[in-house]
Amino acid sequence: MIKLFTQTSCNSSRKARQWLRDHDVQFEEQNVGKKAPTTAELKHILSLTENGLDDIISTRSRAYPEVATQLPDMSFNETLKLLCERTQLLRKPIMVTENKVQIGFNDDEIRKFIPRHIRRLDFMKAMINAAGV
C-alpha cells in the first residue's frame, strides 16, 4: 500500500492524489499539517532515497532560512525530530511503499506505483497500437 504524505495547500500534493485516483491505485493519505510523520517513517523514507536528507528537505520553504545554519551541526536524530516538529520543511508530496519512494510530483516517475502487471498490459496495448494491428 502506498502512503501519501501531503499538505493541504500544496499543488503537487493535489496532483499526486488525483493521479493515483485516476489510475485506481490504492493509497493511504496523511496530511502532515495535521499529523506529522514519525521518526520511524522518516527513517524508512530516507533509506529509499539517493541523497538522504537533501532529498526530503525543502530549501524553498519559508521556514528553511531559520534553520539552514543549524542543520549542519545537528545530529541525524535531532534533524529527524526537527522535521517531525516542523513539517513545512519537508518536500511534498512524499509517496512511499515498502521498497519505493518518490519525493515531489513527477508525472513520469509516479508510474512506478502502478502495479507491474498493469504496466505490462499497457505496454502490450501500446505495442499493438504502434504496430497497427
Decide: helix, strand or coil at residue 99: coil
Query: Measuring CA to CA, which residue among 111, 90, 101, 97 is closest to residue 31?
Result: 90
Residue 10 is a catalytic residue: yes
Out of 3, 4, 7, 10, pick the active-site residue: 10
The DSSP symbol for 122 reads H
- 69/9 Cα distance (integer angstroms): 27
How is residue 22 written as a grid cell?
485516476
At residue 37's C-alpha, the angle toward residues 101 and 8, to 5°, is 85
Contacts for 89 with CB less than 8 Å, ≥ 6 apart: 57, 58, 61, 63, 64, 67, 82, 83
Q: Mind telling me the catalytic residues?
A: 10
